[in-house]
Amino acid sequence: MSGESPFRSIAHRLKSDSRTLPDEGRLPSFDRATGWLNSGPLGPADLRGRVVLVDFWTYTCVNWLRTLPYLRAWSAKYGPSGLTVVGVHTPEFGFERDLRNVTDHARGLGIEYPVAVDTDYGVWEDFANHYWPAIYLADSAGRLRYHHFGEGEYAITEMAIQQLLLEAGMPPVDLDLASVEPVGLEVAADWASLRSPETYLGYGQSNGFASADPQFYDRAHVYGGSGTLPLNSWDLTGDWTVALHAAVLNEAGGRISFAFHARDVNLVMAPGVAGTRIPFQMTLDGSPVGSAHGSDLHGDGRGVVDNPNTYQLLRQNGPIADRVVEIEFLEPGVEAYCFTFG
């Protein structure tokens, strides 16, 4: 057997067979972007002669966060050879429409490539896109040649970048694949043990709510909670308003419980009033979290919601089993949007 890397072999096949990257039409413009970060507005003239990677994202999406180390690495490695990465931030939740939130999180995440702010979904519509994350690659002539939706396929995507740069006669391209060292929320999911789906708490997309009752939606209601939760179900205890977009806590002491099977537990949350801090306490199967705490939780289970974000609550190190987390909020006003797992 040859000592050549299988990835290198695939890269050479991609190089030599342009049919693997068909013409998928013209790269749409970014004219309907509502703003730009890290750049002035970019149009066809600005991108002419460049290979362009367009990445649709929204900053609380954990699936996108797990792709970000690769985007940063590709931009740094291939930018000098002719690649331009353009992020398109299209919001999922209302607070992601706030330009300051997007700007602060883009800076905090180390995003230095241009970002088209797509608050009104104009760029999303022009691409006929339906997913976060979504990657589109255009060649130096402005033709879409490759796309990928969701996580994964990093090696294939990078080799497609290499092929388009080589086709364009760009400066020498290093065909070794970029290496990344993700941390926190950017670490790939443990797919082998993952048995719990993304779960929204607002009734607009909710599933698995043990105390679901439409007559109580959009108004304050005191929920009694459930003694036992089946896997992938959740419940509320205390005075909550289950709204279209989120579950909103009206009085201190409210709790959320979720029965899950995964290594990681994350929860998108926001303080209802900007600038406020809402402390919370979390347990795992009724006991302290200890070393299984996530990056946004102390080992004693304490945490604080102080900005609209995805909070990593749990990252287990041992065997994965069916378990229950319970989060108690010590002040009112939290808005809980969506559980994700990894």
CA distances from 142 to 27, 46, 53, 267 (A): 5, 11, 11, 39
- Is 179 in the same domain as 215? no
pTM value is: 0.91
Q: What is the pLDDT of residue 16?
A: 41
User: Which domain-ending residue is among 186, 209, 240?
Assistant: 186
Decide if 132 is inside a domain.
yes
Note whether residue 173 is domain-resident.
Answer: yes
> Is residue 192, in this structure, part of any structural domain at all?
no
CATH number reported for the structural domain that contains residue 181 in this entry? 3.40.30.10
Q: Quick one: 34 and 89 in the same domain?
A: yes
User: Can you say whether residue 331 is alpha, beta or left, with left for phi > 0 and alpha for psi between -120 and 50 degrees?
Assistant: beta
Asked whether residue 1 is domain-assigned, the answer is: no
Report if residue 306 sits inside a domain.
yes
DSSP 141: T
* Domain-embedded: residue 126: yes
Is 63 in a helix, a strand, or coil?
Answer: helix
Of 162, 186, 210, the residue at which a domain comes to its end is: 186
Contacts of 80 (CB under 8 A, 6+ apart): 171
My answer on whether 39 and 118 are in the same domain is yes
If 0-12 CB within 10 Å is exposed, 13-18 middle and 19+ buried, where does residue 224 land? Answer: exposed
Among 186, 212, 234, the domain-final residue is 186
Q: Give the chain's residues under pLDDT 50.
A: 1-19
Indicate if 165 and 93 belong to the same structural domain. yes
Q: What is the domain range of residue 318?
A: 199-341
- Are 26 and 169 found together in one domain? yes
Report the 10 Å Cβ neighbour count for 53: 24
Same domain for 181 and 207, yes or no, is no
CA angle at 252 for the pair 201 and 271, rounded to the nearest 5°: 55
Interatomic CA distance for residues 307 and 185, integer angstroms: 16
Q: How far is CA 11 from CA 5, 86, 177, in A?
A: 10, 23, 10
pLDDT of residue 8: 38
Residue with tokens 């041992």: 318
Per-residue pLDDT, 173: 86
Check whether residue 149 and residue 221 sit in a common domain: no
Do 336 and 269 contact (CB within 8 A), yes or no? yes
Same domain membership, residue 330 and residue 297: yes
Identify whether 194 is part of a domain.
Answer: no
**What pLDDT score does 1 carry?**
30
**CB under 8 Å to 215, separation ≥6 — which residues?**
none
Total domain count, the chain:
2
Residues 250 and 104 in one domain: no
CATH of the domain at 242: 2.60.120.260
Backbone angles phi, psi at 261, to 5 degrees: -145, 100
Examine residue 193 and state whether it is found in any structural domain, yes or no: no
Residues 299 and 172 in one domain: no
Q: Which ranges of 179-251 would DSSP assign to H, the alpha helix? A: none
Neighbours of 19 (CB within 10 A): 5
Together in a domain, 335 and 211? yes
| Same domain, yes or no: 151 and 259 | no
Q: What is the pLDDT of residue 172?
A: 80
